[in-house]
Structure 1
Amino acid sequence: MNKSILKLALPNIISNITVPLLGLIDLALMGHLGSEVYIGAISLGSVIFNIIYWGFGFLRMSTSGFTAQAFGEKKPTEAITILVRALLLTIIISVFILLLQSPIAWASFKVIGGSPEVEKLAEAYFRIRVWAAPAALSLFVFSGWFLGMQNARYPMIIAIVVNVVNILLSAFFVFGLDMKSDGVALGTAISQYVGLVTAVILLLKKYRGMLPNVTKAGIIDLKFMSSFFKVNSDIFIRTFCIIVVFTFFTSKSASINDTVLAVNSILLQFLMFFSFFIDGFAFAGEALVGKFIGAKQIENLKKVVKLLLYWGLGLAITFTLIYWTGTNFILKLLTSQKDVIQTAQKFLVWVVLIPIASVGSFIWDGIYIGATASRAMRNSLLVSTFLIFAPVYYFLNPVWNNHALWMGMLLFMFSRGVILSLMYRRTILKPLTKNVE
C-alpha cells in the first residue's frame, strides 16, 4: 500500500512544489525592485485570482473524486464522460469571468483595499492575467481527471511545463524588458495556455481511444448531473470559506500598513510551500480512496487512510524542524528590504507552528474528496471559519493586532483537521459498510 501511495504522491509533490517555488520567485523578483509596493501589488492581485480560482476549485476536486470512483468500478466510458462534462462547464464559467472582469476587479479592490499605488499596480496585474482564466480552469479539470485515473505523472508534466515557462517568461519580462508586476502577470497568462496545449497532447497520447465512447445522452445524464452539482455546490461553499479567511487575512494586513502586508504575504508562502508538499499525499488520498470506494474495498480504504495520516505526520515534523532552523535564511532570500525583514522577525514563531497545525486539514481533505463526502467538508469549513477563526481574531485583535491574525489562521487550519477526523467513521465508513452489506 505504501508503494501505491508513493507512486501517486511523489509525482504530485514534484509538480506541486513548482507552484510555491513560482510564488516565491515572483515575490523575489518584486522584492528586489527597490520598493515594497510591488510585493503588495502581486499579493493583492493574487488574492483576486485566489477568489476566482479557489472558488472554482471544485472543478478539479469533484472531477478527481468521481473519476477515481468510476475507475474503481471499472467504468471507462463514465470516466471519460466526466471529463467532457467538466470541460463544458469550464467553458461556460470562463465566458462569464471574462465578461464580468471589470465588476470583479472593482468589487475585489473595494473588499480588499490597499494603498492607491499598490491598487493601481494590482489592477494592471489583474487585467493581464484574467485572460488566462479559460486555460487555468481547464487545467484544473485535466489535472483532476488524470489523477482520478490513477495517473499522477501527467499532472506532474503539465505543472512542470507551466511553471518553468512561467518563471522564464516572468524573469525575461521583468529584467529583460524592464516590466514590473505586469510582466509577472503576462508570464503567468502565457504559461497557462502552454500548459493547456500540453494537457490536450497528453490526453490524446494515452486516452484517445476512450473519446468515441462519449455520447450526448451520457453527457446530460440527469441523475449524475444532480449528484455532480450537489457535490460541486458543497465544495464551492467549502472553498468560499477558505477564500473568506485568506481574503480577510490579506485585507486586514493591508489595513495595518504596506510593510505588514508585505511581511504577511511573504510569511504565507511558508504555509503555501508546506501545503504543496503535503498535498502530494492528499492527492494520493483522492485517487486511492475514490478507487477503493468505487471497488467497495473497505479494508483497503481503512489501511490507506491510516498510512496517509502517518505520512502526513512525518512530513509535518520534518517541516517544523526546517522552519525552526532555517526561517531567517529563507526570509533573506525572498527580500532585501530591511524594514520588511525586521518586522517579519516578530512573527516567525507562527511559521514554525504551521506544519503541525495544518497537516490534518490537508490529509483529511484528500480523503473526503476521494469519497465525494462533500457535505462534511462544507460543514467543517463553516464551523472553522465562523466559530473559530472570526471569534479568535476579533477577541484578540485589540491586544495582539497582527498576531491575532496569525493565531486565527493557525486555529482555523487545526480545527478543520480535528472536525473531519471526528466525522470520518460516521460520514465515510458507515455509509460504505451499508452499501457493501
Structure 2
Amino acid sequence: MASAITTLAADAPTLSAANTGFMLICSALVMLMTPGLAFFYGGMVRVKSSLNMLMMSFISLGIVTILWVLYGFSLAFGTDSGSLIGWNSDYVGLSGIGITELWDGYTIPVYVFAVFQLMFAVITPALISGALADRVKFGAWVLFTALWVTVVYFPVAHWVWGAGGWLFELGVIDFAGGTAVHINAGAAALGVILVIGKRVGFKKDPMRPHSLPLVMLGAGLLWFGWFGFNAGSWLGNDDGVGAVMFVNTQVATAAAMLAWLGYEKLRHGSFTTLGAASGAVAGLVAITPSGGAVSPLGAIAVGVIAGVLCAMAVGLKYKFGYDDSLDVIGVHLVGGVVGSLLVGLFATGGVQSDVAGLFYGGGLEQLGKQAIGVFAVLAYSLVASALLAFLLDKTIGMRVSEDDEVAGIDQVEHAETAYDFSGAGGGAASRSTAAPAPSAASKKVDA
C-alpha cells in the first residue's frame, strides 16, 4: 500500500517554474493582441470613427476582465453540467483557489490558466466590433459585450475546451480558438449587422482606411501576440508540440499573406498594404485551430487556402448587401471555418494527438466531427447574437442617429477627435500669405 501511494505521488504533476513563467509571458502576449486589434481596426475606418473603434476594443479589457473573475471562469471551466455549461463555486471571484493549486493534469497554477483564458475571452467580443464600425452607440456596445460574453462566449468556451463540454467530448479539435473565438465572433458579427443594418452611404460613399500605417502596426502586433495565443494553448513547453505550433503559426501566416497578395494582384492589379495585413490575419485565424495537428507543409497549405478564400469572401458583402465594415465575416468567420475543417484533411496524427485526417489515412471521421463543431458554434452564435442585438435595439437602441453618424461618431459619443489640426503650421508659402495678426478686439470676440 505504501509503495502504491509513493508511486501515485511521484506521478502527480508538480508546479513547473519554467512552464508557469512561459504561460505568464504567453498571457501577456495575448493581452497585447487587443490593443493591436484596436490599432488594426482604428486605422481601417474613416478618421471621424477612429477613436470609437479604438474604444470598442479597449473597453473589452475592462468589462470582460471583471465578469471573468466574478463568474465567467466558473461558467467556462467549472465542473460540467449537462455538457453545456460549467460551475465551480471556488472559481467565483477566484476566491477559493490556492496560490499553488495546479490546473488539473498540468504543471501550472489554476491562476495562470485562468488569466491565460481570460485574454481569449477579452479579445473575442472586440473582434466583433470591426463589423459594426461608424454606427453603434457606445453605451449599447458596452451592454452588448457584457451580455454576449455571458450568453455566448462562456458557454461556447465550455463546449469546446471544458472537461465534459459536448464538443470536447465529441473529439472536435480546436487547438487555440478557431470555433470558440473566430467562428464565434464572425457569426456574432453577421447576426448583429443583420439587425442594425448598413452604414449611411454604404456602396455609395468612399469609406477608405484613414491610416494604413496604423493598420500595419496593428497587424504586426497581432502577429507578434499570436505566438502566445497559439503556442501557449498547449499549456506548457515540455514535449515540443508548442514549438510545432509556433513554427506553423509563422509559416501559415506568411503563406496566407502571399496568397492574398497574389489573388489581389490577379483580381485587382495591385499589391496593397491593406491586403498584406488582411492576408496575414487570415492566416493567423486559419492556423489557430489546426496548427497543432498539421505539419509545416500542411501549414503552408492551410495558409494558401485561407488567404485565397478569405480574399474572395470579403467581396461578398457587396454582392449580398450586408455591411461588414471591416471584413470580420470575410476574415474571421471564413478563416475560422477553413482552418477548422482543414484539420479533417491535413491532420498528420503525429503532433498533438494520433488523430489523422483524410489525406493521412484517417478517413472522413474527423472531418465530420470538425463540421459538427463549426456549424454548431456558427448557428448558436448567429442566432443568440441577433436576438441580443434585437432586444437592445428595441429597448435602448443600438444605433446612433443618421445625423450623428454623418457628423462623426467620435465627436458624438466621446467628445473627442483622433487628430487635432488646429495648431498645424504651414510651409513657406503659407507663412508668406498669412493674414495679419488679429486685433485685441477680435481676440476678445474669438475667446
Same fold (TM over 0.5): no
Question: Using CA pairs below 8 Å that are at least 6 residues apart, which structure has the higher relative contact order?
Answer: 1
TM value normalised by structure 2: 0.30
Relative to its length, the structure with more helix (as a share) is 1
Specify the structure having the higher radius of gyration (Cα).
2
TM value normalised by structure 1: 0.30
